[in-house]
Amino acid sequence: MPGWNTQDIPDQSGRVAVVTGANSGIGLVTARELARKGARVVLACRSEARGNAAVARLRAELPDARVELGRLDLGDLASVREFAAGFPYERLDVLVDNAGVMALPYGTTADGFETQFGVNHLGHFALTGLLLPALLAAPGARVVVVSSGMHALANIDINDLNSERRYRRWIAYARSKTANLLFTHELARRAAVHGTDLVAAAAHPGYAATNLQTTGPLAEGRRAAERLVRIANRVIAQPAQAGALPILYAATEPGVQSDSFTGPHISMWRGAPAPSWRAPWTLNDVAGQRLWAASEELTGVTYGALKA
């Protein structure tokens, strides 16, 4: 995959895609490039205003683009269920579980889950499960879960998934990103066991300049930290257009393997897509199955067609 870029994306005509968090950053780039190649793309966004602005922007840039907004708040399971119930297509070829939050002060979702675990993992777990019939209706459908190299900071604590005993923002973030990889691992295993051709793959953008890095400092009014992050984004990070490449590769390139992990090839930081290192604990079958069972219990969403 040396030098792989958006020009290498195969034709996506006739395919339906959902990209969460598609109103800005990596999600917006991913939605744009899928639409550019002919896919019908649903931008699943929490803010209706920002989502509509993103749709308008894409239609202005790509007049023939088939893009539409879907209201989705991953921090509210009622919203996740409403989105899935209202999904207007019988098949779903590509689901990109991209939206996320990072290093926030402690908070909880509408359902009482720690925010980073609730949004980054549980919301996407529920969404994927509720959209599973549409995914299985599309031959060779892809689920791409966006994790992070930061997962290496911490394994999950199955006995304290919501960080109720002790909360450290970066550890909580790392655990949510480990959860993303364990979810991908177990989804890929179940899809294979049941003989489906569903591909579950993970990807990460390296260090890409998006508004994700500034959310935490802004939430706490830490202006100095926010300024430092903005400077680092300008000087060190790669642009969102480059950060989206591993996600687009995992979503579209023929031959992508289930449970693969794609990221930038230069020290997992920047550059063209390449196989990425992942912590050994993200390939643990027992941990994946235990997290899956806990996620089903917490969300109330079960994957009927892919039972253990």
Catalytic residue annotation? 173
> Shortest CA distance to 72 belongs to which of 99, 112, 111, 95?
99
Nearest-angstrom CA–CA distance, 137 and 152: 35
Neighbour-count burial of 52, counting CB atoms closer than 10 A to its CB (0-12 exposed, 13-18 middle, 19+ buried): middle
Neighbour-count burial of 193, counting CB atoms closer than 10 A to its CB (0-12 exposed, 13-18 middle, 19+ buried): exposed
Kindly write down the DSSP assignment for every residue of 4-68, as one continuous string.
--GGGPPP-TT-EEEEETTTSHHHHHHHHHHHHTT-EEEEEES-HHHHHHHHHHHHHH-TT-EEE
> Shortest CA distance to 120 belongs to which of 104, 138, 131?
104
Kindly write down the DSSP assignment for every residue of 136-185, as one continuous string.
HTSTT-EEEEE--GGGGG----TT-TT--S---HHHHHHHHHHHHHHHHH
User: Are the C-beta atoms of 135 and 129 separated by less than 8 Å?
Assistant: no
